[in-house]
Amino acid sequence: MKKNLICGLLLTLFLLPLQAQDGNGKREVVLSAGTNHSRFSEDIEGGEADCLLCWLFGAEVIFAQRGPLQFSAGVNQTGTGSKYKSGEEGGEGGSYSFENKETLNYLNFPVEARYEFGAGKIKPFVRGGGALGILLSAKSKTKSNFNGRENEDETDIKKQKKSTNLALVLGGGVSFPLGKFRGVAAVRYGLGLTNIVKDDKAPSAKTRDLSYTVGVGLPF
């Protein structure tokens, strides 16, 4: 039921920009890049989940009517995941440390409503909507150190993860003059709604993402 609601929201927001255009409308392509700080919603027993830092690259088309209400549809490649650490110094069996990074790369398609504030050249905005993610790759990388003996291993875990991910997205930012174009600095929080783990017997995991991006808007 939840997935159907999100899919319906994405479809509605995608169709609204097409209906909103008229002779007085304006459109803009924003090319952006930034960082994504992520972690899964579950913790591994006996370990500690830390944020994983990944890159984000993308583009979106912003549609606007005469007023401040806008709509956007875009695509971006985003790395997301979690990092887990555990260890002990000077225990009965000696010292050891263990680190595991799960990194998933998604091709995301966010569709959002936006609202701009102010009539000046610098315009803050808020935005919200949904995003559909297509899984491109999934890797698990482990590092261990037992009494000075180090070991590294990387495993492809794409078959263990679901191929799609639905998320709610909320955020905001500011646009400002940048020569003949407009600069954009933004933040977006993504609340994953899909259990990305295929195995029903394994602990469930949902994505949690906080991204920071800067970009340039090109009107057309």
Quick check: 46 pLDDT over 50? no
In whole angstroms, give the CA distance from residue 196 to residue 42. Answer: 11
Identify which of 94, 16, 99, 103 has the alpha carbon closest to the alpha carbon of residue 61.
16
* CA-wise closest residue to 68 among 118, 141, 29, 7: 118
For residue 67, give Cα distances in angstroms to 9, 63, 123, 132, 206: 22, 11, 13, 28, 36
53 pairs with which residues across the strands?
Answer: 37
- Classified as helix, coil or strand, 138 is strand
CA distance 69 to 63: 9
Given the candidates 3.60.15.10, 3.10.20.30, 3.40.50.20, 2.40.160.20, the CATH classification of the domain at 2-219 is 2.40.160.20
Of the ranges 24-28, 198-202, 207-211, which one carries the lowest mean pLDDT score?
A: 24-28
In the block, tokens 């830390």 appear at: 50
Name the least confident of 25-39, 55-69, 117-131, 196-210. Answer: 55-69
pTM attached to this predicted model: 0.84
pLDDT of residue 10: 52
**pLDDT tens by residue, 130-168:** 999 999 999 999 998 887 788 899 999 999 999 999 999
DSSP for 37-50, please give it: EEEES---TTSEEE
Tokens 């920071």 label which residue?
212
Structure-block tokens of residue 26 = 């304006």
What are the Cα distances from residue 161, in Å, to 13, 20, 41, 195? 28, 38, 15, 9
> For 190-199, what is each residue's pLDDT tens digit?
999 999 999 9
- Identify the bridge partners of residue 7 per DSSP, sorted by sequence position: none
Domain boundaries of the chain, sorted by first residue: 2-219
pLDDT at res. 20: 47
What is the distance between the alpha carbons of residues 169 and 209, in angstroms, rounded to a whole number? 9
> What is the end-to-end Cα distance of the chain in Å, rounded?
38
* Average pLDDT, integer, range 1-11: 53
